[in-house]
């Protein structure tokens, strides 16, 4: 299949009633002719001239854009700008229903501690259960790379289950937190968009929407990471669980150790949980509180268990407010260090208040610097709304999503905050030739998730105001991810003509000789990263490229081409939103 993509366009297609743009980067003055033709017959359906050429401020490219938004007939088409054609693409209504399911199925394929069978995973992605030894695991004891000595704990915990975080085999409470929240929020706001039987997972047809079955797999892991009452720091949550050293890339999936404590092929070695932190504890409190109200109608006992764990975590975090993550052990896993946890306190208080209506949580919210301020929906002034380290926006979204005792005035002020924040992203998007709702400061590790999280804010602004310009902005953000970008690349596997094929992933290494499959459809990679943070990016000289083009589809480029649960979660949210919003 040819990958000589010369136009920037949404390679997966366009919604019938949404915006439709394609662009050609060419150093030529004047406007260019374009045509939209049926792919099968070549019959021209609509034609015109490009918009006045626009110099993209970040890439320096002179873009000639064809706007064919007025065309609303379903079918398969080719857009041609000045005799440069696209590959065939669809125009239709049901473009994002399948993507929603594929993006959500990603989480089943990232499960730890369970065999993925061909029935549910598909032949290519079936595999044995990984890291069964996590069921009985101890805290790291020893000296880290910074010379700090850690005593460990006198007890072991059950750290089994959960999702592998990214391209490695680590499991992290702080990243699991925002991922679970995003999926649970998608269900809580759009329950009619998800049902039992949506996914190929073992729990299907149990009377519970599959998206909740999947989030419960991670929730159970998060709950198991909580230190039992009666132990030192009881109620706190361990920060993470991973190997003492990094595994190779690619790497066979670790499974077990034999009775002589000898490694078998693919066995785990030197795997630990690492110190409890305030941030991890508050992530647990927030997600468990959110789950407590969602699960009441499906499993009352589990809902009550979640609320109990959430309140215990809250009290533990209040008692231990400054236990921050460090570089422990310095290899084998990411730090996910967060030196500011005020936003996490605010988020957890919002979730607990929304689930319990207790005045103590309302009082905490009102005294927080994140309550009804731009700071609460804008991180630390950067052009992105939320990520694993900036979680205050999650709490504010919950306060306008879930009915509480807050006054209408309070709620409207938070809604105004969301709309004002969305307006900032809309301005950024309009000034970017590729309709990206992040500026240069947003091109960080995982920039594609910044695009998606900002799109969530734009979607909320549409729901609040009914203004369809926000709806179009969400659609255009998805266009960027699916090929309307300076690289002319779809960052989502299986969606487009030139898509993600070689992610940084131990198992989805796309190496048929070794029996390692390509990525399944519906997986998004991190995307362009202004900083050069891996050897492949350095060797290829990505630093000399314009910031939005600092990306490479190679397995070794973990800083641009890794996959992660907190990136696929907003992909599910945004795809499901667009699928629902554009159904006619």
Q: What is the gyration radius of the CA atoms in the chain, in angstroms?
A: 24
What would the 3-class secondary structure string for 528-576 be?
CCCCCCCHHHHHCCHHHCCHHHCCCCCCCCHHHHEECHHHHHHHHHHHH
State residue 583's pLDDT score.
77
Give the three-state DSSP class for 243. strand
State residue 514's pLDDT score.
85
Listed as ranges, residues in the chain with pLDDT below 70 are: 1-3, 251-269, 375-383, 584
Length of the chain: 584
Start-to-end C-alpha separation, the chain: 34
Q: In this predicted model, what pLDDT tens digit does every residue of 203-226 receive, in sequence order? A: 999 999 999 999 999 999 999 999
**Dist CA 89 CA 485 (whole Å):** 16
**Cis-peptide, bond into residue 329, ω within 30° of zero:** yes
**Dist CA 464 CA 419 (whole Å):** 8
| Residue 329 burial (C-beta neighbours within 10 Å; 0-12, 13-18, 19+) | buried
The Cβ of residue 117 has, within 10 Å, a number of other Cβ atoms equal to 12
State residue 339's pLDDT score.
87
Q: How far is CA 291 from the centre of its chain?
A: 19
Q: In this predicted model, what pLDDT tens digit does every residue of 497-536 receive, in sequence order? A: 999 999 999 999 999 888 899 999 999 999 999 999 999 9
- Residue 21: what are its φ and ψ, rounded to 5°? -130, 145
**Dist CA 417 CA 434 (whole Å):** 26
Output the CA torsion sign for 464, 565, 553, 384: positive
Dihedral in degrees, nearest 10, Cα atoms 320, 322, 323, 325: 150
Q: So which residues are the catalytic ones?
A: 168, 504, 553, 562
Mean pLDDT computed over every residue of the chain: 93
CB 436 within 8 A of CB 429: yes
State residue 327's pLDDT score.
86
Residue 174: name the closest of 347, 399, 320 by CA.
Answer: 347
What pTM, to 2 d.p., does this model score? 0.96
Q: How far is CA 558 from CA 76, 168, 179, 483, in A?
A: 35, 10, 20, 21
State residue 326's pLDDT score.
84
């Amino acid at each position: 299949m040819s990958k000589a993509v010369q136009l920037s366009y949404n390679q997966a297609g366009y919604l019938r009633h949404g915006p439709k743009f394609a662009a050609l980067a060419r150093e030529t003055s004047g406007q260019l002719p374009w045509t939209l033709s049926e792919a099968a017959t070549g019959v021209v359906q609509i034609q015109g001239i490009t918009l006045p050429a626009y110099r993209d401020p970040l890439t320096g490219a002179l873009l000639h854009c064809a706007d064919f938004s007025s065309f609303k007939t379903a079918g398969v088409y080719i857009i041609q700008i000045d005799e440069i054609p696209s590959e065939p693409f669809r125009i239709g209504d049901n473009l994002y229903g399948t993507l929603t399911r594929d993006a959500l199925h990603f989480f089943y394929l990232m499960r730890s501690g369970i065999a993925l069978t061909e029935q549910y995973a598909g032949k290519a992605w079936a595999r044995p259960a990984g890291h069964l030894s996590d069921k009985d695991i101890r805290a790291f004891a020893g000296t880290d790379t910074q010379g700090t000595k850690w005593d460990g704990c006198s007890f072991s915990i059950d750290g089994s289950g959960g999702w592998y975080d990214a391209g490695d085999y680590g499991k992290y409470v702080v990243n699991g937190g925002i991922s679970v929240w995003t999926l649970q929020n998608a269900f809580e706001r759009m329950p009619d968009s998800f049902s039992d039987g949506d996914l190929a997972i073992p729990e299907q047809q149990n009377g519970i929407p599959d998206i909740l079955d999947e989030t419960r797999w991670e929730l159970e892991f998060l709950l198991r990471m909580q230190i039992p009452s009666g132990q030192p720091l009881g109620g706190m949550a361990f920060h993470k669980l991973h190997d003492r050293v990094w595994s190779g890339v690619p790497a066979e999936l670790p499974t077990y150790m034999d009775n002589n404590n000898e490694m078998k092929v693919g066995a785990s070695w030197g795997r630990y949980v690492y110190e409890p932190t305030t941030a991890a504890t508050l992530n647990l409190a927030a997600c468990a509180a959110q789950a407590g109200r969602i699960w009441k109608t499906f499993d009352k006992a589990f809902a009550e268990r979640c609320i109990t764990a959430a309140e215990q975590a809250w009290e533990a975090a209040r008692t231990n407010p400054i236990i921050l993550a460090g570089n422990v052990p310095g290899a084998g896993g990411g730090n996910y260090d967060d030196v500011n946890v005020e936003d996490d306190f605010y988020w957890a208080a919002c979730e607990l208040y929304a689930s319990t209506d207790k005045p103590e949580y309302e009082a905490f919210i009102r005294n927080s610097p994140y309550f009804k301020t731009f700071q609460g929906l804008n991180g630390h002034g950067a052009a992105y709304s939320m990520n694993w380290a900036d979680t205050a926006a999650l709490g504010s979204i919950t306060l306008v999503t879930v009915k509480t005792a807050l006054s209408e005035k309070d709620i409207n002020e938070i809604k105004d905050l969301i709309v004002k924040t969305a307006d900032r992203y809309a301005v950024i998007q309009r000034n970017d030739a590729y309709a990206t709702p992040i500026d240069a400061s947003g091109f960080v590790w995982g920039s594609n998730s910044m695009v998606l999280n900002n799109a969530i804010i734009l979607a909320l602004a549409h729901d609040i105001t009914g203004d369809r310009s926000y709806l179009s902005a969400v659609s255009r953000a998805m266009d960027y991810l699916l090929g309307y970008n300076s690289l002319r690349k779809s960052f989502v596997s299986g969606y487009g003509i030139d898509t993600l094929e070689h992610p940084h992933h131990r198992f989805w290494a796309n190496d048929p000789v070794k029996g390692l499959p390509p990525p399944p459809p519906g997986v998004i990679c991190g995307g362009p990263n202004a900083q050069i943070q891996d050897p492949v990016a350095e060797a290829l000289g990505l630093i000399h490229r314009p910031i939005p083009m600092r990306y490479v589809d190679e397995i070794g480029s973990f800083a641009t081409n890794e996959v992660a649960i907190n990136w696929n979660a907003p992909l599910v949210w945004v795809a499901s939103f667009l699928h629902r919003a554009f159904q006619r």
